[in-house]
Structure 1
Amino acid sequence: MLFVLCGAIFLEGIDLAMLNVALPSIRADLGLSTGELQWVMSAYVLGYGGFMLLGGRAADLFGRRRMFVGWLAVFLLFSGLGGLATEAWMLIAARFVTGVAAAFMTPAGLSIITTTFPEGPRRNQALLVYSGTAAGGFSLGLVTGGLLTSIGWRWVFFAPVLLSAVILVAALALLPRADAGEDGAEENGATGAAVGRARRRGVDVLGALTVTGAILLLVATVEGATHTTAARSVTTLAASLALFAAFVVIERRSAAPLVRLGILRSSALVRANVGGLLVAAAFFGFQFIAVLYLQELRGWSTLETSFAMLVLGIDAILAPLLTPRLVNRWGNTRVILGGLVVAATGYALFLPIGMDTVYLAMFPTMLLVGISFALAYGPLTIAATDGIAEEEQGLAGALFYTSFQFGAALGLSSATAVSVAVGGAGERGMLDGYRAALLVPLGAAVLGALVTASGLRRNGPARERAREDAATPAVTG
């Protein structure tokens, strides 16, 4: 089971990484502007983040296996359609639907893990292996994306179709059917009764559409701030905030809310989600600007860029091997804080890039960013689902992934907006824009470290370690 679920998250990682490396080739072939190029990435992120809450709730109510398998098939189909795109809108639309499919598939997979493995060291180990596999997909995708793009960028979309088909067949054979809501069955006891009542009340589709619209408008406001009128930016921002307010009202009045607002009373859960948002904003904003710098300003090939960024995949090794030991020794919060400090250091070291910067000078940043992701991502996943009732594990996972993808969209949009606003004509102007845009990931990492540090001041590291240590005999005894 874990093998199949890791295969799916590996698919997501390799899909994103291959596309990221292929962006300059896609721009050259389809004639995309920088804004359109950013939307090729952001469309997936918005579909993913916008429908994640609905996907997580659907997994809780209608069966995690059913949601995982069904939407994996949709992911397979629209990944292939993206490779057939001849215009920007076709590619953006295909990526959006692919993101929606991932929004239903991913929280279902995560909740299968969190409801199968008991809370404590075994679940933590499984989640760290799971997140490490995602990193492995990303690192392999960087190289594979360069190889495939050298043949033709469309193969970046066709290759995941083959991998998806293999995972789909394995999922049908290996994923457990003993799942709440699967084939009309419900679990026994209080959990099954709660699921049954929620299923009869239905799903909050209006809430899902409202929050998706709010996210879409907010990202569009940031992305368009540098090349639209102030009046239009203010209008879209106001509309976004209004939709967020409407979402809160809908959730308060709904008989079956998409998000039970009481779950947000957990300060640990809120910090984990804010931390995930800022980690994603920094990481995706950095890699987007780094790829453009290496390929469009320095003239590196896609394969050279792939190998230059390959060291980012070191988290695939560290996440399952080193991070569990650190978490057991120091607790989630301190490990996350260490990861964010390492990330901020790495981003700061990349700020002095120039027209003739050698790779040896870039290597420390690539290494530190990879290490930081290994330290932060897995523990954030644990913190976001720890202590949550089984019938809301899909919701908790969806909240975290929504925050993560929302952060990715904002990081991409903000980095693009700063680059366009500051950059000018010629190589010097492009370099100035890239340098300014790199302040976005640096600022996000610093802010994330401050938010995480507030958890230490509130709870104290000793209390956190004691709580996690106390779980060990309960699981093994």
Structure 2
Amino acid sequence: MRQGRTGGAVLALACAAQLMVVLDVSVINVALPSIQAELGFTPESLQWVANGYLLTFGGFLLLGGRLADLHGRRRIFLAGLAAFSAASLVGGLATGPAALIAARAAQGLGAAVLAPATLSMVTTTFAEGPHRTRALATWTAVSVAGGAAGNLVGGALTEFLSWRATLLINVPIGALALISAARVLAADRPLAARETRLDLPGSILATAGLTCLTYGVTNVPLGWTAPQTLVPLATGVAALVLFTVVESRFAASPLVPPQLFRNRSIAAGNAVMLLVGACFQAPMWYFLTLYMQDVLHYTALQTGLGFLPHTLVTIAAGRLLTPWLMRHASGRTLIVAGALIAAAGFVWQSRIDADSGYLAGILGPAIVFSFGGGLLNTPLTTTVTAGTAATEAGAAAGLMNTTKQIGGAFGLAALISISGTQDPQAPVDYATAFLASAGILVAAGVAAAALPARRDGDR
């Protein structure tokens, strides 16, 4: 495995690409009013500027991860980066709603190919142990920073330039990354022809199932029993059940190799990732954004700045402290401790009310649950990618990203349902949403007890 100077260049490329992927989940949100005014979107169609990206991103992650294994991480990374950058250019120049929605969907497809490739590049470049831990800590920190900075970057670009800049900014970054990747990334060793056959039935079922689930979740505000919600959710579940049958009994080269689930780190780690994603992936940002904008009456730019402490504390804990701790304590211990600390922070956050203000209502709880999140992120990412062969690194990365996305989507949908935000006439029940998040994190801490206890350097 390559480390040192070449490893540093690979890590920089992986982080730059991952930053683009996670940033574009939210960077366009604050620009939606400007987009609606300029391109003539209806209120119903405007949501698809955001949902078009999420739909294809969530639906194609498993397929994107496996493609990197079968056809080489360098080739798939370059293809995903080129597709993402080209779609950003088309979206930034769009003159009508249909063109912009199509471009956002194409961006999501490129992101679904790119995100697993970035993670598998890191895990195959750095050997298990302290070097990989530090690399994954950096990759995770960039993911957290990108997700948190989306509203801030989007607000600044929209206010000082144009909504188009939220998409066009990806073009020069993508071009530089493509040039660098072509020079830095070595070609992967080709697999035997029989190993490169894509599991077409499994790919269709997984993509259809995940896409239907994602679409159904976006309609949860209409109610869980609404046909627009219930039908796609039921279809998605049925497709994924059939997918598991095809993978385990009929597929010669499965999209998700069954042996991955015989690895306790991967099986239990993804269960924990699902629960953690249900609190941190989208719900936290959603409810705190509502509070800052609807209760504290912050602008989009002020709201983005309000999230800076969350980002800084998470990065400090995850990038600076956790790699050192992992040499002295097991990853399992840090995951359990991080989940329980974050749960305590969400209990504190549940005491928020209209008179709390920023310092008591946002900053104090943020320090606690962001520290807990930072403490568990790196060891959890390390755990769900541990013990994976290089030929299955993409599948493991795709599975991890898919688990995180599904956790975030269903966590947000469930919390919206119990907090009353699906009813525009009802006040938002912040206390219930954050207490439920705390309960989910306690469950994550309990589930983490099933993980193997390993420290950096253990084999």
- TM-score for the superposition, normalised by structure 1: 0.83
Preserved CA contact (<8 Å) 2:340 2:445:
no
Q: Out of 100, 105, 111, which is 1:96 matched to?
A: 105
How far is the alpha carbon of 1:224 from its aligned partner?
A: 3.2
Per the alignment, residue 163 of structure 1 pairs with 173
Preserved CA contact (<8 Å) 2:85 2:174:
yes
Q: 1:464 aligns to what SS in structure 2?
A: coil
Per the alignment, residue 208 of structure 2 pairs with 213
Partners of 2:106 and 2:373 in 1: CA distance: 27
CA separation of 1:40 and 1:341: change in aligned 2, threshold 3 A? farther
How far is the alpha carbon of 1:422 from its aligned partner?
A: 5.7
Per the alignment, residue 470 of structure 1 pairs with 458
**Structure 1 position 323 matched with structure 2 position 318:** no
**Structure 1 position 125 matched with structure 2 position 134:** yes
How far is the alpha carbon of 1:360 from its aligned partner?
A: 0.8
Per the alignment, residue 365 of structure 2 pairs with 365
Preserved CA contact (<8 Å) 1:82 1:91:
yes
Per the alignment, residue 190 of structure 1 pairs with none
Partners of 1:229 and 1:469 in 2: CA distance: 47
Q: Which digits, 9 at most, give the CA deviation of each residue in 1:111-156, with x for residues without a partner?
A: 2221221122211221112212223334554432221121333321
Q: How many residues align?
A: 443
Per the alignment, residue 331 of structure 2 pairs with 332
CA separation of 1:150 and 1:234: change in aligned 2, threshold 3 A? closer
Greater shift in the superposed pair: 241-250 or 223-232: 223-232
Partners of 1:304 and 1:405 in 2: CA distance: 27
Q: 2:222 aligns to what SS in structure 1?
A: coil
Q: 1:173 aligns to what SS in structure 2?
A: helix
Greater shift in the superposed pair: 204-213 or 11-20: 11-20
Partners of 1:150 and 1:217 in 2: CA distance: 35
Preserved CA contact (<8 Å) 1:128 1:320:
yes
Residue identity in the other structure for 1:359 = Y
Q: 1:433 aligns to what SS in structure 2?
A: coil
Greater shift in the superposed pair: 389-398 or 8-17: 8-17
**Structure 1 position 341 matched with structure 2 position 328:** no
How far is the alpha carbon of 1:234 from its aligned partner?
A: 4.3
Residue identity in the other structure for 1:363 = L
CA separation of 1:390 and 1:212: change in aligned 2, threshold 3 A? same
Q: 2:142 aligns to what SS in structure 1?
A: helix
How far is the alpha carbon of 1:101 from its aligned partner?
A: 0.8
Greater shift in the superposed pair: 143-152 or 392-401: 143-152
Q: Which digits, 9 at most, give the CA deviation of each residue in 1:405-437, with x for residues without a partner?
A: 222222343444556666343xxx3xx23527x
How far is the alpha carbon of 1:72 from its aligned partner?
A: 0.2
CA separation of 1:245 and 1:287: change in aligned 2, threshold 3 A? same
Preserved CA contact (<8 Å) 2:52 2:108:
yes
Q: 1:203 aligns to what SS in structure 2?
A: coil
CA separation of 1:99 and 1:321: change in aligned 2, threshold 3 A? same
CA separation of 1:31 and 1:414: change in aligned 2, threshold 3 A? farther
- TM-score for the superposition, normalised by structure 2: 0.86
Per the alignment, residue 374 of structure 1 pairs with 374
What do you get for the CA RMSD once the two structures are aligned?
2.9
Preserved CA contact (<8 Å) 1:148 1:156:
yes
How far is the alpha carbon of 1:393 from its aligned partner?
A: 1.0
**Structure 1 position 450 matched with structure 2 position 443:** yes
**Structure 1 position 248 matched with structure 2 position 247:** no
Residue identity in the other structure for 1:279 = V
Greater shift in the superposed pair: 15-24 or 61-70: 15-24
Residue identity in the other structure for 1:261 = P
Q: Which digits, 9 at most, give the CA deviation of each residue in 1:233-288, with x for residues without a partner?
A: 54444322221121112212122211122321233212221222222221211212
Preserved CA contact (<8 Å) 2:85 2:171:
yes
**Structure 1 position 282 matched with structure 2 position 270:** no
CA separation of 1:31 and 1:469: change in aligned 2, threshold 3 A? same
Residue identity in the other structure for 2:326 = V
Per the alignment, residue 159 of structure 2 pairs with 150
Q: 2:255 aligns to what SS in structure 1?
A: coil
Per the alignment, residue 256 of structure 2 pairs with 259
Identity of aligned residues (%): 33
Task: Pick the structure with more helix per residue.
Answer: 1
Greater shift in the superposed pair: 277-286 or 229-238: 229-238
Preserved CA contact (<8 Å) 1:52 1:399:
yes
CA separation of 1:307 and 1:71: change in aligned 2, threshold 3 A? same
Partners of 1:88 and 1:347 in 2: CA distance: 39
Q: Out of 269, 273, 297, which is 1:272 matched to?
A: 269
CA separation of 1:424 and 1:132: change in aligned 2, threshold 3 A? closer
CA separation of 1:18 and 1:304: change in aligned 2, threshold 3 A? same
Per the alignment, residue 292 of structure 2 pairs with 294
Structure 1 unaligned spans of 5+ = 187-194, 472-477
Preserved CA contact (<8 Å) 1:342 1:372:
yes
Residue identity in the other structure for 1:360 = L
Q: 1:328 aligns to what SS in structure 2?
A: coil
Q: 1:56 aligns to what SS in structure 2?
A: helix
Residue identity in the other structure for 1:317 = A
Partners of 2:46 and 2:369 in 1: CA distance: 24
Structure 2 unaligned spans of 5+ = 1-9
Q: Which digits, 9 at most, give the CA deviation of each residue in 1:8-66, with x for residues without a partner?
A: 12222333352344456556776665x86665444433322321111111111111001
